Amino acid sequence: MSAVIHEHDHHHDDHHGPAKGLTRWLYTTNHKDIGSLYLWFAFTMFLIGGLFALVIRAELFIPGLQLVKPEFFNQMTTLHGLVMVFGAVMPAFTGLANWLIPMMIGAPDMALPRMNNWSFWILPVAFGMLLSSLFMDGGAPNFGWTFYAPLSTKFGPPSTDYFIFGVHLMGISSIMGAINVIVTVMNMRAPGMTYMKMPLFVWTWLITAFLLIMVMPVLAGAVTMMLTDRHFGTSFFDAAGGGDPVMFQHVFWFFGHPEVYIMILPSFGIASAIIPTFARKPLFGYASMVYATASIAGLSFIVWAHHMFTTGMPLAGELFFMICTMLIAVPTGVKVFNWVATMWQGSMTFEAPMLFAIAFVILFTIGGFSGIMLALAPADFQYHDTYFVVAHFHYVLFPGAIFGTIAAVYYWLPKWCGRMYSEKLAKIHFWWSIIAVNLTFFPMHFSGLAGMQRRVPDYAIQFADFNMLSSIGAFGLGIGQLFFFYILWKTIWGGKAPKATAQVWEGAEGLEWTLPSPAPYHSFTEPPVVK
């Protein structure tokens, strides 16, 4: 009930002067306001992280050092990874969870609205601290987003302590957000909304929330051990004091591997909402989708050392992690099969959300194939720490996390702001993005297989052509996302965007569809009723 009262209060505050307007956003406990804050924060971080990537790509445009010092290059690779993972992808998904989960399960708000507010507002502080390190003596952290010891403990710049505190704050935010999702979904579903009737977006986020609660404390442990190694005379990761730098990798990747599934599972839920809508038929194999998501989450905990095949583990360890990693392909393949089966013989139309969702399925699958190549321990000795790995995870994360989020924004924006975006501009944004994504990341497979190492500011001349293509693609991709901002601005504040109607989507054949009549526990992902 308190949630309903808070929501009422804040809509009441809307109409007073500018101070009230500011305090509305500062104190808001309304899940929609907080969802919007998360999404705009994530978009800001996405553009900043993209800027860091463009510095990297500009440096690698041609061989021979040209733009930045190697030291600064390393700071850029570190900050690009950290900002994209913790600042762009995760807050974007949390914003979608805040906006959509209460509406999808028929709840008045999130279960813990005050905590919801706090879990958002500590993020700008955390990233303010992280980004301020760029202006400190010794510069920003320069040890890669995986901050391997002893690079980060013994040799890290003084700003490493700001990085450690920033990571703690992000982790606290994630844990609070995850607790909020779990409590909301378990306690606030409308009457009749059983677990197996929940929209798949709710399911994927519920499972993601459990992953977050299980792995964020592991990350907190890793950075705490770093802190004590740096300042309190411990030797967790220092061999000279009886510690083990490889232990750092075990602790980090025990967090890091489930983390990459945290960054993809909500996108699976988004695709499972959008594809049935534009194929105009129910999702194929709902129950198998739920079980597949849960299997992926379970398996994600027993594959972490596939990031460490080259650290000299026993053969039995290599075999175990290799087989477990390949096993994840099974539930993932089930999901891809179900999406394709949903589209099969559907009355498909190709509006912007559907285009991004289909691109997500196709390109994510390509990323999955290179993942299976990397899972093979003997082959990984060749691929490890080359641009092939960079190509792999960007094919999973850009089409996966980013295209999934963009699809969700186009799909639900009319519901959020009551206005319809320009379908024509959105399609331009789509084709622009898909060409640029492939131009940026596909050549990286080739440079990696040819032996180009990752995280290097300079390289041998035989990799020049592929790098030039990647850099051209990257700048195109960056400009394309500014165009996305223009579309959003035009829709929300431009004043000319048409009002959204009950028939938000109009198909290519002029088939109009309307959402099913809203039941109290109405799912926004049911297939449309074709008139």
Give the C-alpha separation, 243 to 272, whole Å. Answer: 46
Q: Which of 230, 306, 392, 445 is catalytic?
A: 306
Q: Among the options 94, 295, 300, 332, which is catalytic?
A: 332
57 touches 475 (CB < 8 A)? yes
DSSP state of 399: I
Reduced to 3 states (helix: H, G, I; strand: E, B; else coil), residue 514 is: strand
Contacting residues for 187 by C-beta, under 8 A, at least 6 apart: 111
- Alpha-helical (H) ranges within 328-376 are 329-343, 352-375
Report the C-alpha gap between 411 and 290 in whole angstroms.
22
The question of whether 490 is a catalytic residue gets the answer: no
272 is catalytic: yes
Assess whether 454 carries a catalytic annotation.
yes
- Options 203, 261, 339, 387, the catalytic residue: 261
Question: Does the annotation count 392 as an active-site position?
Answer: no
The active-site residue, picked from 7, 59, 259, 351, is 259
User: Any catalytic annotation for residue 307?
Assistant: yes
CA distances 437 to 181, 354, 364, 477, Å, are 32, 17, 12, 6
> Which entry of 10, 32, 80, 392 is annotated as an active-site residue?
80
Q: What is the DSSP letter of 452?
A: P
Write down the catalytic residue from 145, 148, 416, 432. Answer: 145
**DSSP type of residue 9:** H
Residues 230, 307, 392, 429: which is the catalytic one?
A: 307
The active-site residue, picked from 109, 318, 351, 380, is 109
Out of 454, 455, 490, 521, the active site residue is 454
From 230, 257, 419, 429, the catalytic residue: 257
Catalytic residue among 28, 133, 152, 173: 173
Burial class (CB in 10 A: 0-12, 13-18, 19+), 444: buried
CA separation for the pair 130, 122 (Å, rounded): 12
Catalytic, out of 174, 267, 277, 293? 174
Active site includes 109? yes
- Does 145 qualify as catalytic in the annotation? yes
First to last CA, the chain: 38
Which tokens in the block code for residue 61?
């445009």
Is 509 labeled as catalytic in the residue annotation? Answer: no
195 catalytic, yes or no? no
Give yes or no: 318 in active site.
Answer: no
Which residue's structure tokens are 């050092």? 65
Token pair recorded at residue 232 = 């309190």
Whether 173 is a known active-site residue: answer yes
Residues 248 and 239 sit within 8 Å (Cβ to Cβ): no
Nearest to 403 by CA among 429, 384, 385: 429
Q: Which of 248, 266, 265, 264 is nearest to 304 (CA)?
A: 248
- 16 belongs to the catalytic site: no
Q: Distance (Å, rounded) from C-alpha 41 to C-alpha 125?
A: 12
User: Three-state secondary structure along 466-505?
Assistant: HHHHHHHHHHHHHHHHHHHHHHHHHHHCCCCCCECCCCCC
Query: Which of the residues are catalytic?
Result: 80, 109, 145, 173-174, 257, 259, 261, 272, 306-307, 332, 335, 454
